[in-house]
Chain A
């Protein structure tokens, strides 16, 4: 499967592995799309009938300035590699998504965010420069000052503006690998927003796990900060889900029981842990996406703007609870005001909710339509990196700069997502 959700999309006509950033784009009559490490959940990384340009072979560093922390690297370098090489030297990613197994190019193309959005904004804000190879053969260095329009279009541009060959990223100083975490249980949406607002004032990283089956939404808010402390080494071995079971192991019975146990587990109020455990709990189970069975799964991730975030979040959680669908993996956090340069960047100031759903066919899609209505009425949007089914109208309403963006799409590049929502 080409996407993380294991959803059945028709395959590309050809997969081509790239190894040399100086090489021209392959000459082909088929639409092209860069494919990094396949961690996008839906069809932004799918190009049925076209060509996938696999970028993992572009995995070299170009330069690192140990004084300023500016790193230049090829687009296929994994965030995991950057952490392995630079964390021991006291540098970390300025923004990291919930998995370190994504490429730099993928992080740029989806303008990913992390638990520190309220202070650092999106990944793209820390990308100072990159090279874009267009199908006309030109190589454009893009920065806020140079080819600024392509810079803005490519950050969050879903790989549609051409092939990114290298990226320059501003790393951030950390005192070491340790994170001090404060855990707080909350009952109800109001309590979440109160605790969250308080936590964001004093903590760099804030995120909440939420139990979406409880009659009153409840969860655990986890606030973390990099600290100078001794800590056990990060996980060195991660077990693998060895095969895809025929049906999902996640169902209403299993996850309700799991959620109750997880919520009520003995919870230290403060703990110091290795940052890999804090940022990437799911990376410790390789191929965890397989637990959803052969039909795969969807993630529904939406952002709703400030002002209506309480009502909209409550309505979304209510609709999900009533549907009896959902899973253990449910995340709630708020986005801050820092604007991304990206035209199609997903985060907007407000609340962000993400939930996984086993692919239950029509029932799941019907629930999503109810959720879509809440998001649309709130003036919110869905996250393309996670999406495999949003209607084109919802995309266009949620991303009002999409027409400006489409001027910069490379004529030779496309994806199932783009054909679906612009068609």
Chain B
């Protein structure tokens, strides 16, 4: 029985992953801001076969709450095999440009708090000599673009941070997986027009996360084709890129 902690458990991708784990009989510890929505998800996961589900309300941007959360998770599960860090927001880029306090808050939510929680779990896993840390980044972190560089910069921070962290804990047998989803059809993107072939369902992304964990991968683009799209986008010379409206 796997023991799994999920930060941002009310996000669509996280809940889809939690359902897959529940059907395999895992014990789950769900963390999120909204206790009522966590409870609704927990009930769903219990019916779907989870061995146990506990919930813990926490605002990820409050650093002092992190250690308390980890202690509660360890008390509930008796140990942790997988930590999935999936919380985040999708800010309006234009609002971040006009409101610098908002810009800071978005970078802290999507970047800084993710790094701090990653370090916290990695320290724990290194101490116990193994475990999997899976962190949801984004293809947006691969290159800064005018349409969402506040979000992209935060996700870029997570990418570089987990890269170093992976290097740090590799010898301790800890897997650090960075997941880079493309466009995913979730409540976070509910206002977008989703007609294109590039849009994926959260269930497909979740299945990809579980496969990547099993396969001990380091970085995974989901769905797979984003790896090739981003390869092209990363290689456009900056001299040209700065004129594009991507």
With a cutoff of 8 Å between Cβ atoms, the chain A residues found around residue B23 in the complex are 85
Tell me, yes or no, whether B37 is within 8 Å of chain A by CB.
Answer: yes
Chain B's nearest CB lies how many Å from the CB of A320?
38
Q: Are A63 and B187 closer than 8 Å at their CB atoms?
A: no
With a cutoff of 8 Å between Cβ atoms, the chain A residues found around residue B41 in the complex are 60
| B40, B47, B49, B187 — most chain A CB neighbours (10 Å) | B47
Chain A's nearest CB lies how many Å from the CB of B74?
27
Q: Mark A16-48, 1 if CB is under 8 A from B, else 0.
A: 010111100000000000000000000000000
Q: Are B40 and A63 closer than 8 Å at their CB atoms?
A: no
With a cutoff of 8 Å between Cβ atoms, the chain B residues found around residue A411 in the complex are none
Interface residue from B36, B43, B49, B187 paired with A60 (Cβ < 8 Å):
B43
Tell me, yes or no, whether B71 is within 8 Å of chain A by CB.
Answer: no
Tell me, yes or no, whether A349 is within 8 Å of chain B by CB.
Answer: no
- Report if A61-B43 is in contact (Cβ < 8 Å); known contacts: A20-B37, A22-B36, A85-B48: yes
State A22–B40 Cα separation when bound (angstroms): 10
Tell me, yes or no, whether A62 is within 8 Å of chain B by CB.
Answer: yes
Tell me, yes or no, whether B163 is within 8 Å of chain A by CB.
Answer: no
Interface residue from B36, B37, B43 paired with A62 (Cβ < 8 Å):
B43
Chain B's nearest CB lies how many Å from the CB of A204?
26
With a cutoff of 8 Å between Cβ atoms, the chain A residues found around residue B190 in the complex are 17, 19
Residue of B nearest to A21 (CB): B40
Residue of A nearest to B41 (CB): A60
Tell me, yes or no, whether B142 is within 8 Å of chain A by CB.
Answer: no
Q: Are A19 and B43 closer than 8 Å at their CB atoms?
A: no
- Report if A61-B187 is in contact (Cβ < 8 Å); known contacts: A21-B40, A22-B36: no
Tell me, yes or no, whether B59 is within 8 Å of chain A by CB.
Answer: no
Q: Are B36 and A61 closer than 8 Å at their CB atoms?
A: no
Q: Mark A60-85, 1 if CB is under 8 A from B, else 0.
A: 11111000000100000000000001
Q: Are B187 and A85 closer than 8 Å at their CB atoms?
A: no
Tell me, yes or no, whether A57 is within 8 Å of chain B by CB.
Answer: yes
Give residues 185-224 of B contacting A (CB, 8 Å). 187, 190
Give residues 1-50 of B contacting A (CB, 8 Å). 23, 36-37, 40-41, 43-44, 47-49
State A17–B44 Cα separation when bound (angstroms): 19
Chain A's nearest CB lies how many Å from the CB of B191?
10
Q: Mark A333-370, 1 if CB is under 8 A from B, else 0.
A: 00000000000000000000000000000000000000
With a cutoff of 8 Å between Cβ atoms, the chain B residues found around residue A17 in the complex are 187, 190
With a cutoff of 8 Å between Cβ atoms, the chain B residues found around residue A19 in the complex are 187, 190
Q: Are A63 and B37 closer than 8 Å at their CB atoms?
A: no
With a cutoff of 8 Å between Cβ atoms, the chain B residues found around residue A62 in the complex are 40, 43-44, 47
- Report if A61-B37 is in contact (Cβ < 8 Å); known contacts: A17-B190, A19-B187: no
With an 8 Å Cβ cutoff, the count of chain B residues facing the other chain is 12
Residue of A nearest to B47 (CB): A61
Chain A's nearest CB lies how many Å from the CB of B192?
11
With a cutoff of 8 Å between Cβ atoms, the chain B residues found around residue A63 in the complex are 43, 47
Q: Mark B166-199, 1 if CB is under 8 A from A, else 0.
A: 0000000000000000000001001000000000
Residue of A nearest to B42 (CB): A60
Q: Are B187 and A64 closer than 8 Å at their CB atoms?
A: no
With a cutoff of 8 Å between Cβ atoms, the chain A residues found around residue B49 in the complex are 85
Chain A's nearest CB lies how many Å from the CB of B75?
26
State A71–B37 Cα separation when bound (angstroms): 20
Q: Are A64 and B47 closer than 8 Å at their CB atoms?
A: yes
Residue of B nearest to A59 (CB): B44
Interface residue from A20, A22, A61 paired with B44 (Cβ < 8 Å):
A61
State A20–B40 Cα separation when bound (angstroms): 9
Chain A's nearest CB lies how many Å from the CB of B231?
28
With a cutoff of 8 Å between Cβ atoms, the chain A residues found around residue B37 in the complex are 20, 22
State A57–B11 Cα separation when bound (angstroms): 12
Residue of A nearest to B190 (CB): A17
State A152–B220 Cα separation when bound (angstroms): 51
Interface residue from A22, A57, A61 paired with B48 (Cβ < 8 Å):
A61
Residue of B nearest to A15 (CB): B190
With a cutoff of 8 Å between Cβ atoms, the chain B residues found around residue A60 in the complex are 40-41, 43-44
State A217–B243 Cα separation when bound (angstroms): 70
Chain A's nearest CB lies how many Å from the CB of B197?
12
Q: Are A57 and B36 closer than 8 Å at their CB atoms?
A: no
Chain B's nearest CB lies how many Å from the CB of A217?
44
State A61–B36 Cα separation when bound (angstroms): 14
State A61–B41 Cα separation when bound (angstroms): 8
Chain A's nearest CB lies how many Å from the CB of B53?
12
State A62–B41 Cα separation when bound (angstroms): 9
Chain B's nearest CB lies how many Å from the CB of A1?
13
State A64–B22 Cα separation when bound (angstroms): 15
With a cutoff of 8 Å between Cβ atoms, the chain A residues found around residue B47 in the complex are 61-64, 71, 85
Give residues 117-151 of B contacting A (CB, 8 Å). none
State A299–B190 Cα separation when bound (angstroms): 33
Chain B's nearest CB lies how many Å from the CB of A244?
15
State A255–B41 Cα separation when bound (angstroms): 48
With a cutoff of 8 Å between Cβ atoms, the chain A residues found around residue B48 in the complex are 61, 85
Give residues 349-408 of A contacting B (CB, 8 Å). none
Chain A's nearest CB lies how many Å from the CB of B88?
16
Q: Are B187 and A57 closer than 8 Å at their CB atoms?
A: yes
State A329–B187 Cα separation when bound (angstroms): 38
With a cutoff of 8 Å between Cβ atoms, the chain B residues found around residue A71 in the complex are 47
With a cutoff of 8 Å between Cβ atoms, the chain B residues found around residue A22 in the complex are 36-37, 40
A–B complex contacts, Cβ < 8 Å, 14 sampled = A17-B187, A19-B187, A21-B40, A22-B37, A22-B40, A60-B41, A60-B43, A61-B43, A61-B44, A62-B40, A63-B47, A71-B47, A85-B23, A85-B48
Residues of A within 8 A of B (CB): 17, 19-22, 57, 60-64, 71, 85
Residues of B within 8 A of A (CB): 23, 36-37, 40-41, 43-44, 47-49, 187, 190
Q: Told that A22-B36, A60-B41 touch, could you supply 4 new A-B pairs with CB distance under 8 A?
A: A61-B43, A61-B47, A64-B47, A85-B48
Top-6 shortest CB links A-B: A61-B47, A60-B44, A64-B47, A61-B44, A19-B187, A62-B43
